[in-house]
Amino acid sequence: MKYKTVKKLWLAAAILTTTTSLWTNVNAMETPAASGAGVIRALNEQRILSEQYALQQIQTGAGELAEGEATGEAEINDVAELSLGNAEEEMPAADQPELAVAIAPNYVNIRKEPSTEGEVLGKLYRNTVGVIEAAEEGWYYITSGSVSGYVSAEYVCVGEEARALAEEIGTQLARVTTTTLKVRTEASTDAAVLGLVPGGDILTVTETLDGWLKVDAEEGEGYVAADYVETYTEYPHAESIQEEAERLAREEAARRTAQEAEERRKEAEQQAAAQKKAAAKQSTNHTTAGNATSKASTSGNAASGNSGTAASASDAGLGRQIADYGLQFVGNPYVYGGTSLTNGADCSGFVQSVYRNFGINLPRTSGEQGACGSAVASLAEAQPGDLIWYSGHIGIYIGSGQIVHASSAKTGIKVSNAGYRTILSIRRIV
């Protein structure tokens, strides 16, 4: 296994040496004519592809070593740094896009033309970010989300101020670039393995360390080697007029559904209280001696029962009841496309079935569910029963920074740290 790894590393080094020498010779030439520019571009592209192939060979060799040996990360990282150090220095830094961040009290309109009379195409809400494509007097042409258009320069900040603000409001993410990545309890190859993350998965980065990233994983906070992820920043973006209309319609429908469910819940409580009172009267002893005692006992029990019911409803609320109901099914299987809380459900099927038990009908997919109800600003403001929506996934908040969700075929319905993935939205249904 080590022989294969060394062989691949030598191959990678040979490729890098060859392409670097070739590029040095090309750079030594006089400035080419227009017809020679294509040759230079082609050689440059070939050089980049060769370096990428070398990196792939090194990572493949590293992957072989890591799969078979639990303690191989430090050795792999050292070799990779030695092999690719010179190549990285030669690569030119990519141009950073010019950003515009909305500083209006609520939002700034994105218009079709650089005029206050221009058609409104969308809204760039406060502290959302756009990329500047062009500038005209008093206006910037930006792209943000699905919207491209003009915003007034008066209501956005640009330059260093925008970059600093964008860094504060953006979310740093890490995409796993190896087959399987170890999440450790500490930033060390000697630390215990907290969990494994498959290639392509995206983790939220909370802190950058020397060679390590602190991330939110499904099992909780952990550390991953920085060499095996690709980091980038995700910014909140604009909303088109059509997207806004669709969102408002969904929120209104969810609000009506929640209101109807609350009315049904109150009606059910009133009926239960009336039935309890009637049953208590029927069981009263009509004898003269026991009548007073029975009445006192019945009165006391009724008062105690009613008080307990009111306190329970007040303390828990419908959201708490929804969360507690969902927790009953922890350990049950995950089945893609399923909606059974006992025999198997996927993430959105689980959410839909839990809410349906309370008379609330939600859409079937996680994307549709993630647009229902009203938005909650942050996890700190989330309440039990709220929906926590991620890219392609959704769960129910149960409090204390945790969710209950149908996670995967391997783990089934389980409780996880709510921040184990990037939260796209928090929605309040009840």
259: domain CATH number is 3.90.1720.10
Distance CA 377, CA 428 (A): 10
Residue 157 a catalytic site member? no
117 lies in the same domain as 68: no
Q: Among the three residues 208, 233, 258, which one is the final residue of a domain in this structure? A: 233
In a domain, 121, yes or no: yes
- Pair (405, 281) in one structural domain: yes
- Using one digit for the tens of pLDDT, what is the confidence trace for 322-349? 999 999 999 999 888 889 999 899 999 9
Residue 210 belongs to a domain with what CATH number? 2.30.30.40
Q: Do 287 and 332 belong together in one domain?
A: yes
CA distance 213 to 184: 10
With contact defined as beta carbons under 8 Å apart, do 239 and 132 qualify? Answer: no
pLDDT of residue 297: 44
Write down the pLDDT at residue 129.
Answer: 95
Q: Do 220 and 145 have their domain in common?
A: no
* 422 and 330 within one domain: yes
Residues of the chain with pLDDT under 50: 1-44, 46-48, 50-51, 53-55, 57-93, 289, 292-316
Q: Is residue 409 located within the same domain as residue 276?
A: yes
What's the pLDDT score for residue 291?
Answer: 52
Query: Would you say 123 and 109 are in contact if contact means Cβ atoms under 8 Å apart?
Result: yes
**What pLDDT does residue 274 have?**
84
Question: Which residue do the tokens 């009613």 mark?
Answer: 306
Residues 338-355 as b or e (16 or more Cβ within 10 Å = b): bbebeebbbbbbbbbbbb
Q: Would you state the pLDDT for residue 234?
A: 86
Catalytic one of 157, 286, 372, 405: 405
Do 195 and 73 sit in the same domain of this protein?
Answer: no
pLDDT at res. 136: 92
Per the annotation, the verdict on 347 as an active-site residue is yes
- Judge whether 238 lies within some domain: no
Based on the structure, what is the number of domains in the chain?
4
Boundary of a domain, candidates 116, 143, 169: 169
Cα–Cα distance, 20 to 90 (Å, whole number): 9
- Of 157, 237, 286, 393, the catalytic one is 393
Q: Is 393 one of the annotated active-site residues of the chain?
A: yes
CA dihedral 71, 77, 83, 84 (to 10 degrees): 150
Chain segment 173-227, per-residue pLDDT in tens: 899 999 999 999 999 999 999 888 888 888 889 899 999 999 987 777 899 999 9
Domain assignment of residue 326, given as a range: 243-428
